[in-house]
Structure 1
Amino acid sequence: MSRRTRGLLVLGAVVVLGVAALVVYTWTGRVVQPTITQQEATERVDGYIRAAIAQLPADAGFTQVVADVMSCEPSSDNGPRGRKVVSRAFETTAVPVAEFNRVFDTLKSYWVGNGYVVLEDSRPKDWYLWVQHQPDEFRLSVQGNARGLLAINASSPCVWPNGTPDPQ
């Protein structure tokens, strides 16, 4: 093998290892990115879920049953500790089970037409529809059961309480 060939092989190996190291570094979540604040996440969750409920008849009578901020640990994105997830849930029993399909279709049409991507639609097996808003990754779902309970849930992605990590 010539000296030039060996040099090119070594250079190629270095480039491949460098790219692999960058990919591993990124996948392990070592790059800390700023986020919106917890307050901004709360406002978006509230806005997204209220906009969804507004698509349904006013007499549906949804009641808020969850307003929570939880630790984002273990995080679904393998990111750093200290971030939070904002979540909300509303429920009703005022919508007859016979109307669930219409409710799900209405919400699905609204969400798809407003920047959401369907992650899962379990109908007809289960009453469950899960979507994600693009590009901010807020997630909403509607779920029902045979007893007539209908719930709409929303959650934020992991966010830093103040938008950036606290100084150490």
Structure 2
Amino acid sequence: MANRRVGVVLVAAVVVMLAMAGCLGKDKALQPTETSAQASERLEGLLREAFAQLPSDVTVDRRLRVNAVPCDAPSDGGPEGRVFAERNAEIIPPASGAWSVTEVLPILSEFWEQKGYKVITDERFGNQHRYTVQLADGYRLFIRTYDRDGSYDVAVGASSPCVWEFGTPDPQ
């Protein structure tokens, strides 16, 4: 009878330990992150740094600026309810014609690779090119080029990893 009680106590202890481990694992997934405002600031800095690599007479037409888009299906395996920030701009060459937007891709790809960013997309198909790098902390920078029969459209942008809008799952 005593052995049976010891066995029951051991089983109960194991169940409690597993339940605690499960709760701790959940807590780990719910750790604080940057806020969406901090992520947005970081994107601005990354893009300023990238645009500084281009000739000074190049125009950057900022097209998209979102600060808190839901991470509906987070690719990082983390919990739902987080958001991400994104920026997107069109690069417009100088009117002088002394420089072409086709030079954006080689300039920025070399700069980002020298910084040690991981290339995750480098695709050329038809009249388009997609190039994306990822930083160690999950931020991504990208270039999209479109050849429209000799006239090129070039977009450069950035997105943050999924973050809690206010830095924690509970805004209080």
Report the TM-score range of the alignment, normalised by the length of the smaller protein.
Answer: 0.7 to 0.9
Which amino acid in 2 is paired with 1:88?
R
Which runs of 5 or more structure 2 residues have no equivalent in the other structure? 1-13
Cα 1:31–1:104, aligned 2, differ >3 Å: closer, same or farther? same
CA contact (8 A) 1:30 1:80 kept: no
* Counterpart in the other structure of 2:121: 120
Give the TM-score normalised by the residue count of structure 1. Answer: 0.74
Alignment of 1:3-152 (within 5 A): 31-68=29-66, 69-94=68-93, 99-123=100-124, 126-134=128-136, 136-147=137-148, 148-152=152-156
- Between the two proteins, what is the percent identity of the paired residues? 37
Cα 1:64–1:104, aligned 2, differ >3 Å: closer, same or farther? same
User: Greater CA deviation, 122-131 or 56-65?
Assistant: 122-131
Computed over aligned residues only, the root mean square deviation of the Cα atoms, in angstroms, reads 2.9
Give, in whole Å, the separation in 1 of the partners of 2:162 and 2:91: 28
Which runs of 5 or more structure 1 residues have no equivalent in the other structure? 1-13
Shift of 1:155: 0.3
Which amino acid in 1 is paired with 2:116?
G
CA contact (8 A) 1:92 1:149 kept: yes
Give, in whole Å, the separation in 1 of the partners of 2:153 and 2:92: 5
* Counterpart in the other structure of 2:170: 166
Give the paired residue count. 145
Which amino acid in 2 is paired with 1:120?
T
Give the TM-score normalised by the residue count of structure 2. Answer: 0.72
CA contact (8 A) 1:29 1:79 kept: no
Q: 1:36-69: CA deviations, max 9, x gaps?
A: 1111101101110111111111222111000012
SS at match of 2:33: coil
Which amino acid in 2 is paired with 1:163?
G
Give, in whole Å, the separation in 2 of the partners of 1:41 and 1:154: 11
